[in-house]
Amino acid sequence: MDRTPPPPLWLLLERSADAVHAVGSGRSLSELLPQVPAAQRPGVQALTFAALRQLGAARQALSDLAPKPPAPAVAALLHVALALLWPGEGPPPYAAHTLVDQAVAAARRRAPAAAGFVNAVLRRFLRERNQRVASALRTPEARWNHPPWWIAQLQHDWPGPWQALLAAANQHPPMTLRVNRRRCSGADYVQRLAAAGQPARLLADAAYGGQAVVLDRPCAVDTLPGFADGAVSVQDASAQRAAYLLAAAPPAGVAGALPAGARVLDACAAPGGKTAQLLELGDFDVLALDDDAQRLARVHATLQRLDLQAQLRCGDASRPDTWWDGRPFDAILLDAPCSASGIVRRHPDIRWLRRAGDLRALAALQARLLDALWPLLAPGGRLVYATCSIFKCEGQQQIDAFLQRRGGIDAALHPASPGQLLTLADNRGDSAAAGEVQHDGFFLALLRKTRSIAAPDAPPAASP
């Protein structure tokens, strides 16, 4: 039995403050958290996620309590502490007096001269909490815990459900699994989980192919039956729809399911979940492409665990002349780089990392990728365009613009295209518990190549 004492709260607060400060400087948690010592990482992640979900409110409260901004390191510590002291629906993670005491202890170690200031600010907030909360919530950033430009963009794109979308973004997401159909069915795996004391349910919507399972309670992946042997992977329900839409016959049928041996390109493939799902769905000739060698190594590790084979190549999907061998693809999955605005439940740092100007640059990149990859598709072939975004400029507007460029030539939108999936409890009728949000925000479009157009000349690709 491991008798190692848990890390002290002051240390977790200190490291969480470092993470929040780094996010404010433009660094992502996916980069920061792996650098935290393993014994401290779960606690630091939990505190940091909680702080980022309430960061707008904490910032406004600190601004009201201390009109003269403290040093950035001290401000970050206070943002974390104020976020954790903020009243919520459930019980607080720590008693108020414990949190204040430990925040002051952290301040003594990172900025000794500011310890008294930290103590005074937090105690005043507790004395005046109702007043301070009411005052802060008059500002949109504190009310919704998103940057003002993000709120305005959602109001513009989704004038009806914008408030529900912002509220859903601060919910804790479910843990969803993709069962490897080469090993067992989704229904059988639900029974296997039940036998292991991990209750779960199968998502009944046909769009998931009977392989999407939602756990009643999240757990460590190494406790999942058969995970190490490749029986199951962690993947959100929305993300599972992309590969299934490409490989299987949609409700209206493109030309039926992809045949065995079909040549498939998974562009922007890392970290490999969709590559693996394609190979679970059929015996396809898959090329997994990504422009980041380190991220491509994650694709390799994923395929190894699942005992699947694909060709991996490092290359820029927008420049086929540097990697394409000239042979057309029967199907292309383009999971394009995007704002990731649909997955902020899982990555609460995203909202604070993005800037309004990012959308313009990302939309331009998505358009370049569509235009570069379309000529590589064989006549009669299919392409799925996917983004984990809820901003229309990265979804329907992107596809509308592409069809204006190509629709009169050789491209058509298939009627089975799901379109925009929103992070709302009643979206698409999933078999979920009442009021529970089942999937992330996603956009999916299925495009069909209607006739042959000469593809650009391609030099022999470099050896992988």
Closest to 183 (Cα-Cα) out of 213, 220, 211 = 211
351-355 LR contacts (CB < 8 Å, sep 24+): 351/52, 351/145, 351/146, 351/147, 351/150, 351/169, 352/23, 352/24, 352/52, 352/55, 352/147, 353/23, 353/26, 353/28, 354/147, 354/150, 355/149
1 located within any domain: no
Helix (H, G, I), strand (E, B) or coil at 413: strand
My answer on whether 37 and 165 are in the same domain is: no
Sheet holding 176-179, edge to edge: 200-202, 212-215, 176-179, 232-234
- Are residues 162 and 258 located together in one domain of the fold? yes
DSSP labels, 158-217: -TTTHHHHHHHTTSPPP-EEEE-TTT--HHHHHHHHHHTT--EEE---GGGTT-EEEESS
Q: At which of 186, 215, 235 does a domain end? A: 235
Measure Cα distances from 422 to 67, 140, 345, 352, 390 in Å. 38, 21, 12, 20, 7
Q: What is the DSSP letter of 329?
A: E
Cα three-residue angle 341-252-372, rounded to 5 degrees: 50
Residue span of the structural domain in which 66 resides: 9-145
- Residues with a known catalytic role: 388
Do the domain assignments include residue 361? Answer: yes
Helix (H) or strand (E) holding 142: helix 140-144
What's the pLDDT score for residue 249?
60
Asked if 362 and 339 touch (Cβ cutoff 8 Å), the reply is yes
Does residue 167 share a domain with residue 188? no
Longest C-alpha distance within the chain, in Å? 73
46 and 165 part of one domain: no
Q: CA–CA separation, 360 vs 441, rounded Å? A: 19
**Block residue for tokens 């740092």:** 349
10-residue mean pLDDT profile of the chain (464 residues): values are: 81 98 96 95 96 97 93 97 91 92 96 96 97 96 97 98 95 94 95 96 87 94 95 95 86 67 96 96 97 94 96 97 97 98 97 97 98 96 97 98 89 92 61 54 95 50 39
Same domain for 222 and 286, yes or no, is no
User: Is 3 within a domain?
Assistant: no
Question: Residue 225: what pLDDT?
Answer: 96
Are 373 and 251 found together in one domain? Answer: yes
Q: Whole-angstrom Cα distance, residue 419 to residue 422?
A: 10
SS3 category, 44: helix
Same domain assignment for residues 125 and 158: no
Number of domains, the chain: 3
Judgement on whether residues 436 and 321 belong to the same structural domain of the protein = yes
- The domain that holds 35 is classified in CATH as 1.10.940.10
Looking at the fold, whether 105 and 186 belong to one and the same domain comes out as no
> pTM for the full model?
0.91
Which residue in 448, 33, 452 sits closest to 250, CA to CA?
448
Q: What is the pLDDT of residue 434?
A: 39
Answer whether residue 417 is part of any domain: yes
Sign, Cα dihedral of 105, 98, 141, 348: positive
State the pLDDT at residue 28: 96
Does residue 437 form part of some domain? Answer: yes
Q: Per the domain annotation, does 2 fall within a domain? A: no
Instruction: State whether 108 and 256 are in the same domain.
Output: no
253 with 308, same domain? yes
First to last CA, the chain: 47
**294 lies in the same domain as 404:** yes
